[in-house]
Structure 1
Amino acid sequence: MRVAVYPGSFDPITNGHLDIVQRGARVFDRVVVAVLHNSQKNPLFSVEERTRLIQEVTGDMKNVEVDSFDGLLVDYVHQRGAQVVIRGLRAVTDFEYELQFASMMRKLDSRVETLFMMTNNQYSFLSSGIVKEVASGGGDIKGLVPEAVEQALAGKYGY
């Protein structure tokens, strides 16, 4: 069975992330969307809220599982029996960081491959940070995030 892990903070998940999940699910037998608990960041949504939202928007994808983790990704990949880590690239500016990330993964375990997937062009500008910034100001985020995420952001920002 070909298992891939798609890690990230997903604070919140955007349609760009969802595009990568859907495409990954066509390539692999199972995709684990792994929500990172990063104590160095101050997320808007808790790990539990992010996990629940992702489960809600991926519920119709039978080979997609949602989980959370902390610690080293390579250890989590081993724990899940995965062989591949999926990383999304929006633009050239993402590449340098992602290359460093992939190189470190290879150093930690040369058996784990990193697969870069280019985001659909319509989402190349999109990030969770931009979505939160627009939503916090009451701007229109329709089409940038799934409807469940729109509602959750509205609840967080009180509109």
Structure 2
Amino acid sequence: MRNPIIRPAEAADADAIWAIIDPVVRAGDTYALAPDIAREDALAYWHAPGNRVFLAEIGGEVLGTYVLRANARGHGDHVANCAYMTARAAQGRGIASAMCRDSLDRARAHGFRAMQFNFVVATNTRAIALWQHFGFEIVGTLPGAFRHPEHGFVDAHVMYRWLDG
């Protein structure tokens, strides 16, 4: 498989971003967003003020998207936060790895000193393993914080890592 090209999203990418967000959110198993969220609301969430939105594509086909932002304001704005979504058909093809690697590089370039994921659903074991591969540690667990459509109330993790150099 070829490595994806990762680039900043443009206004013309809204349909491609929605095509990724829609099935991920509708599944209801990884994001704490309403499964019936409207397209406009989902895109507004993804493109919220302060968010930098990126796309991963191969041969012009958008296979993933991620958001890079400050995790907090003021005295916490040195810690980055990201959210990643991969097209269901592209899972297992290294898209999330490429986006994570890219986001770590971009976070460093923007002066962030660490990165934190605030709400990683404990049943999302593929994501947890991937983030741990990239040096993230589970630093906290929120018991029963996520209402999973199949497993009921499950834990969510806070994951964190320093950005060296």
TM value normalised by structure 2: 0.30
Q: Which has the higher contact order (CA 8 A, sep 6+)?
A: 1
Between structures 1 and 2, the one with greater helix share: 1
